[in-house]
Amino acid sequence: MNNAERTRRQLMIRFIQEFFSGDLGENIDRIPVEMRPRTEEPVRCCVYKDRAMLKYRLMALMGFGMEEETDESRRLSDYLADAKAGNNHTEPVLSVCSVGCHGCVDSHVQVSNSCVGCFARPCVGACPKQAISVVNQRSTIDRTKCINCGKCMAVCPYHAIIRNPLPCEDACPVGAIGKGEDGRVRIDFDRCIYCGKCFRSCPFSAIMERSQLAGILQAMVDGKEVIAMVAPSITDQFPGTIEQLFAALKLAGFSDIMEVALGAEMTTAHEAEEFFERMERGDILMTSSCCPAWVEAAKRHIPDIVRFVSSTPSPMAYAGQITAKAHPNAVKVFIGPCIAKRREAQADPNVDFVMTFEELGALLAAKEIDVISLEAPPLEHPAASYARNFAKSCGVSQAILQEIGEEKPDDTRPKIDEKFINGLDRKSVNLLKLYAKGKLPGNFVEVMACTGGCVGGPCSLAR
Amino acid sequence: MANKIKVEICLGTTCYVLGSFRLSALEEQLPPELKERVEVVGCACLDVCHDRNYGNAPFVRINEDRIVDNATIEKVIDILRDEYLSGGNE
């Protein structure tokens, strides 16, 4: 576990503990100082920068982006009062803290000191743009010609040519990362699909997600009925059984728990039906639609594929419908590993807040609830195992195949030929453009923005 | 042959959230000289995180008495090798 993850989680635990003890308003402005006293070695350039970043991280935990800061001397306790009253926007769900951004140089290929100016000079031959020449016994890249293809890197026997990365931009599958005039990163929210890959990749923790924790905790403190709708990817995220985990959620302050895997059962049934309807009417393709980052990517970057994206509601949407019917006045919280779900939830009247697995872990830690020591009764309505596997890559297809059942010899229904996109990156986005044009085999494409499916999500607890 | 050295990885929620989920690979990563000598198990909360000391989680306990804080696989292996393998602490 790296220092960034550790600091983020420690801060969450502290924030939640003090939120419930009622001392947060009084103490929140002290937290950055207490966590980074000047007697300790700083991690960034100095303790003051460390503290400033903790301050912005606390703002993000309350749902505020640094972009909104108009008065630098405004106290965190004032932001807290706003957050408790629901006056935080938490939109867009990602925020770049430009104070923390290192302003990394643009990704490029360069020759390191390890170059020995060898006789064979494979780099010179491999370069498709004739950008490499040898000057003073060392390969030199002409930046005006180089296209950063990396072919020279691949052939150098000394590994002397390296790629200098720009981590957030390299991680972004859709080219939504750019830079402002100050050299700091900006997210282009017209292109962003909220997959959270940049947030996870920034070595300086400068990209933050704007949390909705304050609203959820306040609802609990106010004694409201708060329902947890837990995503199928919860399995393997915590020690202990799913029954113990649900018992822990009740101790943590949720009035009731809904397994979103039950929604996944409904998604599966409808999606299977929809597939046959579409094939019968002559569609060449259908893609899954449960991954909100994928749906955004289709809308913003692959307009040709939009008509092939399944219109079946996601497991969260179904779970929200069921929960809203059973508990009309409750505060409904979806809990999952996903940032893009925040965006999906904002458009869904049946989901009030989204909590991440990381935040749930911090909540249980803050309340000192030891999951594996709990006694737990069996679940009243356990979801089917195929539905719980929905969140793994290929899980959607497998669930649908199971729903369709074994194909019989006299089966006249169209055959399903399933393909998987296991994680969105620039390459797979291009592949999907080809699928949209009917240039690749397969009639059902399951797309997961995160590698391995939701279980590899940006806010998962145990990756 | 002496009793095995018992290594308990705290799976209490605080330790788990702050990194003990990564320690489950300890058993596989034990060097050959420790492989036969060490038994790795998960355990419920060791109760060392309370007194607001959670900043030092995750915790590991060796032979019921030695607590390792900020535990990483490498740190635990170093301690096992230095303090237990030489025979001084058994």
Q: Give the model confidence (pLDDT) of A382-418 as tens digits.
A: 888 888 887 777 788 888 887 777 555 566 778 889 9
Structural domain of residue A256, as residue ranges? 217-456
Chain B residues within 8 A of A13 when measuring between CB atoms: 14, 17, 54
- A369 domain residue, yes or no: yes
Verify that A58 and A197 share a domain, yes or no. Answer: no
Chain A residues within 8 A of B11 when measuring between CB atoms: 239-240, 372
Chain B residues within 8 A of A361 when measuring between CB atoms: 13, 16-17
Q: Check residues A364 and B54 and name the one with the higher pLDDT.
A: A364
Chain A residues within 8 A of B69 when measuring between CB atoms: none
Chain B residues within 8 A of A235 when measuring between CB atoms: none
Chain B interface residues (partner A, CB cutoff 8 A): 11-14, 16-19, 21-22, 42, 44-45, 49-50, 54-55
Residue of chain A whose alpha carbon sits nearest to that of B42: A239
Verify that A205 and A239 share a domain, yes or no. Answer: no
Closest CA to A36 of A58, A62, A69: A58
Min Cα distance A32 → chain B (Å) is 14
- A461 domain residue, yes or no: no
Closest CA to B18 of A408, A365, A265, A183: A365
Verify that A280 and A369 share a domain, yes or no. Answer: yes
pTM: 0.91
Domain final residue, candidates A58, A89, A120: A89
Cβ–Cβ of B50/A248 closer than 8 Å?
A: no
CB atoms within 10 A of CB A404: 17
**Token pair of A144 as six digits:** 């005006």
**Token pair of A66 as six digits:** 């640094």
pLDDT of A82 > 90? The answer is: yes
pLDDT class for B90, splitting at 50, 70, 90?
Answer: very low
Cβ–Cβ of B17/A369 closer than 8 Å?
A: no
- A20 domain residue, yes or no: yes
Min Cα distance B6 → chain A (Å) is 20
Verify that A335 and A186 share a domain, yes or no. Answer: no
pLDDT at A236: 83
Closest CA to A379 of A274, A276, A267, A250: A250
For residues A178-206, give the mean pLDDT: 94
Min Cα distance B3 → chain A (Å) is 27
Chain A residues within 8 A of B49 when measuring between CB atoms: 368
Domain residue ranges of chain B, discontinuous segments joined by +: 5-85
- Strand A226-230, strand A256-259: pairing: parallel
Verify that A398 and A256 share a domain, yes or no. Answer: yes
Cβ–Cβ of B14/A368 closer than 8 Å?
A: yes
Min Cα distance A103 → chain B (Å) is 29
B13, B22, B49 member nearest A364 (Cβ): B13
Q: To 10 degrees, what angle do helices A395-404 and A260-280 make?
A: 70
Verify that A238 and A317 share a domain, yes or no. Answer: yes
**Token pair of A452 as six digits:** 């391995």
- Strand B5-10, strand B38-43: pairing: parallel
Residue of chain B whose alpha carbon sits nearest to that of A9: B18
pLDDT of A100 > 70? The answer is: yes
pLDDT of A286 > 60? The answer is: yes
pLDDT of B50 > 80? The answer is: no
Q: pLDDT > 90: what percent of chain A?
A: 85
Residue of chain B whose alpha carbon sits nearest to that of A4: B18
Chain B residues within 8 A of A240 when measuring between CB atoms: 11
Verify that A47 and A132 share a domain, yes or no. Answer: no
Chain B residues within 8 A of A461 when measuring between CB atoms: 16-17, 21
A1, A361, A371 member nearest B22 (Cβ): A1
pLDDT at A377: 87
Number of domains chain A contains: 4
Buried b (16+ CB within 10 A) or exposed e, A180-192: eeeebbbbeeebb
Min Cα distance B87 → chain A (Å) is 32
- A236 domain residue, yes or no: yes
Residue of chain A whose alpha carbon sits nearest to that of B49: A368
Verify that A119 and A205 share a domain, yes or no. Answer: no
Sign of CA dihedral A52, A55, A60, A61: positive
Q: Check residues A30 and B90 and name the one with the higher pLDDT.
A: A30
pLDDT class for B2, splitting at 50, 70, 90?
Answer: low
Verify that A115 and A223 share a domain, yes or no. Answer: no
The CATH architecture to which B5-85 belongs is 3-Layer(aba) Sandwich (3.40)
- Strand A286-287, strand A444-448: pairing: parallel
Tokens 């489950």 -> residue: B24
Alpha-carbon distances of A1 from A147, B12, B22, rounded to whole Å = 35, 17, 7
- A4 domain residue, yes or no: yes
The string of DSSP letters for A6-63 reads HHHHHHHHHHHHHHHHT-HHHHGGGHHHHHS-TTSPPSSSSHHHHHHHHHHHHHHHTT
Cβ–Cβ of A6/B42 closer than 8 Å?
A: no
Q: What is the spatial distance between Cα B68 and Cα B61, in angstroms, rounded to a whole number?
A: 6
pLDDT at A380: 84
Verify that A298 and A408 share a domain, yes or no. Answer: yes
Helical ranges in A102-147 per DSSP H: 122-126
Cβ–Cβ of A369/B13 closer than 8 Å?
A: yes
- Condensed to tens digits (0 to 9), the pLDDT of residues A34-62 reads 999 999 999 999 999 999 999 999 999 99
- A24 domain residue, yes or no: yes
Cβ–Cβ of A364/B42 closer than 8 Å?
A: no
Q: What is the 3-state secondary structure (H, E, C) of A192-225?
A: CCCCCHHHHHCCCCCEEECCCHHHHHHHHHCCCC
pLDDT at A412: 74
Alpha-carbon distances of A111 from A122, A169, A267, A411, rounded to whole Å = 13, 21, 52, 61
CA dihedral A69→A70→A72→A75, nearest 10 degrees, is -70
Q: What is the spatial distance between Cα B72 and Cα B85, in angstroms, rounded to a whole number?
A: 19
pLDDT class for A348, splitting at 50, 70, 90?
Answer: very high
pLDDT at A91: 77
Chain B residues within 8 A of A364 when measuring between CB atoms: 13, 17
pLDDT at A192: 97
pLDDT at B85: 79
Cβ–Cβ of A239/B54 closer than 8 Å?
A: no
- A82 domain residue, yes or no: yes
pLDDT at B89: 47
Domain final residue, candidates A147, A180, A210: A210
Residue of chain B whose alpha carbon sits nearest to that of A10: B55
Domain final residue, candidates A126, A147, A164: A164
pLDDT of B5 > 60? The answer is: yes
Min Cα distance A3 → chain B (Å) is 10
- Condensed to tens digits (0 to 9), the pLDDT of residues A10-29 reads 999 999 999 999 999 999 99
A&B contacts, CB < 8 Å: 56
Q: What is the spatial distance between Cα A65 and Cα A60, in angstroms, rounded to a whole number?
A: 6
Q: What's the CATH code of the domain at A119?
A: 3.30.70.20
For residues A227-234, give the mean pLDDT: 95
Cβ–Cβ of B17/A365 closer than 8 Å?
A: yes
Cβ–Cβ of A361/B16 closer than 8 Å?
A: yes
Verify that A294 and A418 share a domain, yes or no. Answer: yes
Cβ–Cβ of B13/A461 closer than 8 Å?
A: no
- A462 domain residue, yes or no: no
pLDDT of B1 > 50? The answer is: yes
CA dihedral A214→A220→A224→A230, nearest 10 degrees, is 90
pLDDT at A409: 57
Verify that A257 and A364 share a domain, yes or no. Answer: yes
Min Cα distance B4 → chain A (Å) is 25
